[in-house]
Amino acid sequence: MTNKEVVLRFYEEVFNAWDLSKLDEFMRDDYIQHNPTVEDGKEGFIKFAEFFFGMKPHMEIIKIFENEVHVAVFFKCTLENGMINKVVDIYRLEDGKLAEHWDVVEHDVGDVVTANGRGLF
C-alpha cells in the first residue's frame, strides 16, 4: 500500500467514520504533532479526536499529493453545525504509518466570496 493510500484509508476509516478503534493500524505511538493545540503521541491525537468527533466532521478530499515520505491533503471539512473549514494536512509516514503532522486551517469559510469568482475549493 502506498503512503497516499494509507492516508486516504485513515481519512475514511478514522476521520469520516469517527472511529478510533483502527488507529493502531495507521499511527505510530510516538506521533509528532505540529498543531499547537494538540499534544504529541497517539494519546494526544485521541484526546483531540474525542473532542473533534463530537462536532461530527466530514472531510471531503479535494487534492492529495505524495512524495517519498510525505503526503499532503487539501480538503473541505464540514461540521454538523454547518461550519466549513478549508484545511491542508501534511503527514510524514514511517514504515507505512503516520509519524508526523503539520496543518493549516482557515475556519468558517462557508460564506466567503472570492475576488476571482473561482471559489475556495
Q: Give kind and range of the element (H or E) at residue 12.
A: none
Write down the domain spans for the chain.
3-106
Band of pLDDT at residue 82, cut at 50, 70 and 90 = very high
Lowest mean pLDDT segment, chosen from 1-10, 83-92, 110-119: 110-119
In angstroms, rounded to a whole number, what is the distance separating the alpha carbons of residues 101 and 91? 5
47: left (phi over 0), alpha (psi -120 to 50) or beta: alpha
- Return the SS3 of 58: strand
What are 54-73's pLDDT values in tens digits? 999 999 999 999 999 999 99
Q: Give kind and range of the element (H or E) at residue 20.
A: none
Band of pLDDT at residue 84, cut at 50, 70 and 90 = very high
**What pLDDT, on a 0 to 100 scale, did the predictor assign at position 44?**
97
DSSP string, 78-118: E-TTS-EEEEEEEEEEETTEEEEEEEEEE---TT---SSSS
pLDDT at residue 36 tops 90:
yes
Mean pLDDT value across residues 106-114: 89
CATH architecture of 3-106: Roll (3.10)
